[in-house]
Amino acid sequence: MQKQNQLFKDKNDLMAAQLNELSDVRKKLEDVRARLGQGLEQFEATLLELHTLSCVELLQLMIEAFLNADDSRDARLSDEELDQFFEVCKVSLKQAMRIQRAQPAQKGPLKPSATSLPPLPFRSSG
């Protein structure tokens, strides 16, 4: 019985030492996770800024293409003007379609996501 008690004591000591090591590992992992979490938030913010800039550039391209295609300057595109507009915007629109199709479909009402654009700041003119 004394041998068994000594055996249990040795196993308990070994288990206590292993728990201390695991505790140290846990602390290190928590530190790494905290550091990565801060970097991840900054990375996501940068991605959102890049996405916003990309959307603004696409909008600028489409407005310029519309204005250049509107030969009659009546703010409407006729058949030939419409063809000219889509010729300029075709590649960008196809790329936007591929990106949209690659995103998982949402069921129900649309909700803001990490890739949705932030609201535009409107200033009162008074």
Residue 71 is predicted with a pLDDT of 86
Residue 93 is predicted with a pLDDT of 83
Residue 125 is predicted with a pLDDT of 43
Burial class (CB in 10 A: 0-12, 13-18, 19+), 48: middle
Report angle CA 122, 89, 64 to the nearest 5 degrees. 50
Residue 103 is predicted with a pLDDT of 67
Along the chain (126 residues), what's the average pLDDT of each consecutive run of 10 residues? 82 86 85 77 84 88 89 88 89 81 61 48 42
Residue 91 is predicted with a pLDDT of 87
pTM higher than the cut 0.85? no
Nearest to 116 by CA among 41, 52, 62: 52
